[in-house]
Structure 1
Amino acid sequence: MGGNGKKAHVELALQTTNDTILRCVMVFGEGVFEGESHVVHPKLRELSSELRVPLFPPRDVPIDLHIKALVGSRTGQHYHVFELTRQLPRFATYAPVDPLSAPEPHGKATFLLHERLPRIAMWLNQTFLFPAEIIASPGQVLEKHFLGLRTSLPLILRIGIDGKAEVLTDDMDIAGDVIQSLASFLNLEDLQVHADFPSEAQKIETLLQKADELQAVRDRLSTDMADNAGIIRTLVIRAEDARILRDWASMKKWYLELAGANRELVNAYTIRYTNSTELSETLKQVNQIVQRAAKLRVGKYKALVVNGCRAAIRDSNTNLLVRVMMNGEA
């Protein structure tokens, strides 16, 4: 899990079956190490038959680890090179924990599965790391508790004997990844999901309110800038007329007013640019939440969520947007 000054991580444990020692280990893994590889070369006094390599996967994807280990005797100068390939499961960074070690999350996704529990247990064994293989017996509830090593957030998977499945977590992105992985393993073409993520619902409401306020400010700034542009055109004409008439006092007056109006226009442009950048970032966050809500579903239900959310955003209907995100339909 972590300790000794290191953040929580997955450990790759290597051990020989006799008195030989591991002199050096090279691990190659795409996206796991900087430079795609990592070399462990213990000091002479620390040589042993066992070696542990900390792994920090940045994303929840299966990773192929290619391992080369130099094994030999303590006094020898020649070493055998052993080459191994192991796959790090997709959800290796979620450590099994005791059910009482963490409170139950507030967010959850609920759906129905018409599948035998042993097959779901097979998916668990392939995508998570367990001390021992999970065996599910028909007629029993399958429930597993995990703790995310990167996020420190609890994750609970619960599948009842009636086929009702629940993914409990406060991170909608994690729930979507779990559902997509399970649906792919079970070859599900369509899957409807009822979601309940209070924090995401509150966040989308706040973002949409902020977007409306920013849009109102942008419209007002555009009107003010158009008025300033008209004033500048008038001042330019007056200043040029005064120059032609050699009315230097009036010309100086109009050009001073023109400089002031120009400064106001430049300031307005700066404010509008900041407003536009903030509005773009806000709408980007709204789109990311919509994509996370869509990822909770599979097939036609995923498309329904995307289309329903777009329609709700277009109509500025926040209540409809939240309802589509959580129920999968209007």
Structure 2
Amino acid sequence: MLVPVFSLQLNNKVFPRTVAVGKFNGKQSCLVGATAGNKVFIHSPRDINPQAQQLEGNISLLNVNQVITSLACGQLDEQLKKDLLVVGTSTNIVAYDIDRNVDIFFKENPDGAHAITIGHWGELPEQLAIVGGNCSIHGFNKKCEDVLWTVTGDNVSSLALLDFNSDGYNELVVGSEDYDIRVFREDQLIAEMQETETIVSICSLVGTRFGYALANGTVGIYERSNRSWRIKSRNIAVVLQAFDVDGDGVDELVTGWSNGKVDIRSDRHGEVIFKESLNSSIAGIVKADYRVPGENLLICCSNEGEVRAFKFSEQDSNAVAANLYKDRQEAIRDLAQKKQAILLELEHLEEATRQSQEKNRQNKQIVFDSEAEIPANTEIQTILTVEKKQNNYPAHIAVRMKTSNHTIIRVVTIFAEGLFKGECLVVHPAASQVHESIAVPIIPPRDAPIDLHIQIFVGLKSSTLFHVFELARPLPIFSMYLLIENSSDREPKGFVTFYINERIPRVLAWINHDFLLAQEYAPNAASLYVTFLAVRNDSKLIIKMQQNGQVTIQTDDMELAGNIVQSMGKFLNIEDLQTTGDFPQELEMLQKVFTQIEEYQVARQRISSDMAEHANIIRSFLIRAEDARLLGDM
């Protein structure tokens, strides 16, 4: 179990996700982080007594003179046998040798640096500083050469290196603001996972496992492309780290939260093993042999500059017994709360039964208890339909629910991650408007698969207690597309075409799986020609396939075409695919953007020349004024 080792106060603000540790002289670990005034603090420990609870040290500041967006430490030049500090700003990348107090390189990077990691990527022979910016990823070597460059779907928010496919080489796991986690083997995309919010942190664990944290408070673990578990908190996860907390040789997942809490969860099941709290939001968590060489410590740093370190320690029998007693007391407390809730529910049911028996005795006949009972054969029928925009009501998916008898639906609660604010929607119609059926509109913000968990409160019209039916309905990735009749009217001009070694029934199976259809689509034609209406913008999507395996996707939305190809490739297990595409509307929009950029550049040059001209005039006036002052001719 972890025990506290030392604490210290940096007396500097620390920016979130900009904390790192490095051995800048090759021997002693130092703590670094971004602080106010566009500076980087460097804390060098100066600890004479290894048992001291307060760690002393020297703090020095490095001026960057630009807003720091990310930083990392690592052996970018392995011949130096020491770590370098790499600092990213909105326009530049700087590699700094703190031991010699010199810049190794300075590189302009217009895409910015939202995240940096240092290590080996793929089969490239040298260490790289991998920088994630605005829709781009760059790999810089020790000579500041951009040896690897690729693009991603949106602004990069987090990076991590791990052997994703167990081939002996590191792949790059990238989290971005478009809610996607992508895995790159050098410049090749080999896996993609969709989440429900911006990925704020990623850390590698043992083998092919990695942890992730989202901006909505979700934390979880993936093993390759499969999610092992996830939990949701009302607080926001700031940073993740891996640390062996129980001495079994397997790293657990450490999470630092916005409320100052630090918890450590099992990598297998997600249960909490250890927790601690700091006085303010966590800014960073690192691990290093900070005080004793070879003894790894878990170091937690808060926004206010509070630092606490912990280490694994074999506990004696008394400590183990004390922790076991504490865990058992917490378990007993949880069970007691559950017992109270069940007893309260039992009391309500007994009261309802008593009232029912009294009414039965008064009426001398057996009737259904209007307080709680409903017919035993009551069932809930659910249908999902795509609805177009009508009048002022936007396009949506209608979740239609209906009971199988005269019972009514009083309340509907729908849980769906990333779909509603707060991830829950409650529909509670007025008492005069309740019926045996109800329709709930939902509007997915983007094309992504969603699991709907529905709770339906059912009873009689005079009921005060209701039975709860729980259902689960999946929404396919392309649920906002309505199947319509084929026609040559308003056909999209953009298209992407490719060849696959698959039969048409397999593509039909993909369509039935990934589109929301009222009934199974199974045409008898020799070739495939299907048309959908994108109800968000009333544009057409046409999918064609010939018997020779040629597939054509017609749409004016390049992003939709990419999603279609990715979805089809994943369903059909296609790893490599050569495509040809043309999107004239997108190119026209791009041309308009370039024209606007040229206009802005001309305006900027004109303003710059005017500023230079006015500066010369002011300079001449200053010289003449100084001459007049000296001559007394004011």
The normalised TM-score by structure 1 is: 0.68
| 1:239 aligned residue | 625
1:147 corresponds to which of 511, 533, 536 = 533
| 1:26 aligned residue | 413
Structure 2 counterpart of 1:11, which letter?
A: A
Instruction: Confirm whether residue 104 of structure 1 aligns to residue 491 of structure 2.
Output: yes
| 2:395 aligned residue | 8
Task: Call closer, same or farther: CA 1:68–1:61 in 2, change over 3 Å.
Answer: same
Which of the pair is proportionally richer in helix? 1
> SS at 1:106's partner residue?
coil
Structure 1 counterpart of 2:472, which letter?
A: T
Shift of 1:92: 0.5
| 1:305 aligned residue | none
**C-alpha separation in 2, matches of 1:77 and 1:219:** 74
- Percent identical among aligned pairs is 43
**C-alpha separation in 2, matches of 1:100 and 1:6:** 26
> SS at 1:143's partner residue?
strand
**C-alpha separation in 2, matches of 1:53 and 1:13:** 6
1:200 corresponds to which of 548, 564, 586 = 586
Instruction: Confirm whether residue 158 of structure 1 aligns to residue 544 of structure 2.
Output: yes
Shift of 1:189: 2.4
**C-alpha separation in 2, matches of 1:224 and 1:100:** 58
**C-alpha separation in 2, matches of 1:152 and 1:136:** 24
2:605 corresponds to which of 219, 231, 249 = 219
Residues 284-325 of structure 1: CA deviation (Å, up to 9, x unaligned): xxxxxxxxxxxxxxxxxxxxxxxxxxxxxxxxxxxxxxxxxx
**C-alpha separation in 1, matches of 2:620 and 2:412:** 77
Structure with more relative contact order (C-alpha pairs < 8 Å, separation 6 or more): 1
Task: Call closer, same or farther: CA 1:231–1:143 in 2, change over 3 Å.
Answer: same
Instruction: Confirm whether residue 76 of structure 1 aligns to residue 463 of structure 2.
Output: yes
Shift of 1:102: 5.0
**C-alpha separation in 2, matches of 1:92 and 1:102:** 23
Shift of 1:135: 3.3
| 1:180 aligned residue | 566
| 2:556 aligned residue | 170
Structure 1 counterpart of 2:586, which letter?
A: E
Shift of 1:4: 7.0
Structure 1 counterpart of 2:521, which letter?
A: I
Cα-Cα RMSD: 2.2
1:45 corresponds to which of 432, 444, 449 = 432
Shift of 1:217: 3.7
Residues 35-64 of structure 1: CA deviation (Å, up to 9, x unaligned): 322212223333222211011111111112
Task: Call closer, same or farther: CA 1:54–1:101 in 2, change over 3 Å.
Answer: farther
> SS at 1:35's partner residue?
helix
Instruction: Confirm whether residue 191 of structure 1 aligns to residue 577 of structure 2.
Output: yes
**C-alpha separation in 2, matches of 1:70 and 1:4:** 31
Q: Is the 8 A contact 2:531 2:540 kept in 1?
A: yes
Q: Is the 8 A contact 2:503 2:547 kept in 1?
A: no
Q: Is the 8 A contact 2:504 2:528 kept in 1?
A: yes
Q: Report which stretch shifted further, 184-193 or 64-73.
A: 184-193
Structure 2 counterpart of 1:78, which letter?
A: L
Residues 147-192 of structure 1: CA deviation (Å, up to 9, x unaligned): 1111111111111111111111122222122122212222322222
**C-alpha separation in 1, matches of 2:592 and 2:463:** 67
> SS at 2:421's partner residue?
coil
Shift of 1:93: 0.6
Instruction: Confirm whether residue 58 of structure 1 aligns to residue 445 of structure 2.
Output: yes
Residues 87-132 of structure 1: CA deviation (Å, up to 9, x unaligned): 2111111111122395322221111122222222222122111111
| 1:131 aligned residue | 518
**C-alpha separation in 1, matches of 2:393 and 2:530:** 26
Point out where structure 2 has 5 or more consecutive residues left out of the alignment.
Answer: 1-386
**C-alpha separation in 2, matches of 1:157 and 1:102:** 15
Shift of 1:220: 4.0
Q: Report which stretch shifted further, 27-36 or 9-18.
A: 27-36
Task: Call closer, same or farther: CA 1:232–1:120 in 2, change over 3 Å.
Answer: same
Residues 52-85 of structure 1: CA deviation (Å, up to 9, x unaligned): 1011111111112111111122333321111122
Q: Is the 8 A contact 1:23 1:47 kept in 2?
A: yes
Structure 2 counterpart of 1:218, which letter?
A: R
1:121 corresponds to which of 483, 498, 508 = 508
**C-alpha separation in 2, matches of 1:233 and 1:20:** 88
Q: Is the 8 A contact 1:117 1:136 kept in 2?
A: no
Q: Report which stretch shifted further, 128-137 or 153-162.
A: 128-137
**C-alpha separation in 2, matches of 1:231 and 1:155:** 61
2:479 corresponds to which of 92, 101, 114 = 92
Structure 2 counterpart of 1:161, which letter?
A: Q
Task: After the TM superposition, list the runs of 4 or more consecutive aligned residues in structure 1 that deviate by more than 3 angstroms.
Answer: 2-5
**C-alpha separation in 1, matches of 2:485 and 2:391:** 23
Structure 2 counterpart of 1:74, which letter?
A: K
Q: Is the 8 A contact 1:102 1:154 kept in 2?
A: no
Structure 2 counterpart of 1:34, which letter?
A: K
Structure 1 counterpart of 2:549, which letter?
A: G
How many equivalent pairs are there?
247
> SS at 1:57's partner residue?
coil
Which of the pair is proportionally richer in strand? 2
**C-alpha separation in 1, matches of 2:591 and 2:535:** 30
**C-alpha separation in 1, matches of 2:526 and 2:589:** 37
Q: Is the 8 A contact 2:398 2:442 kept in 1?
A: yes
Q: Report which stretch shifted further, 91-100 or 41-50.
A: 41-50
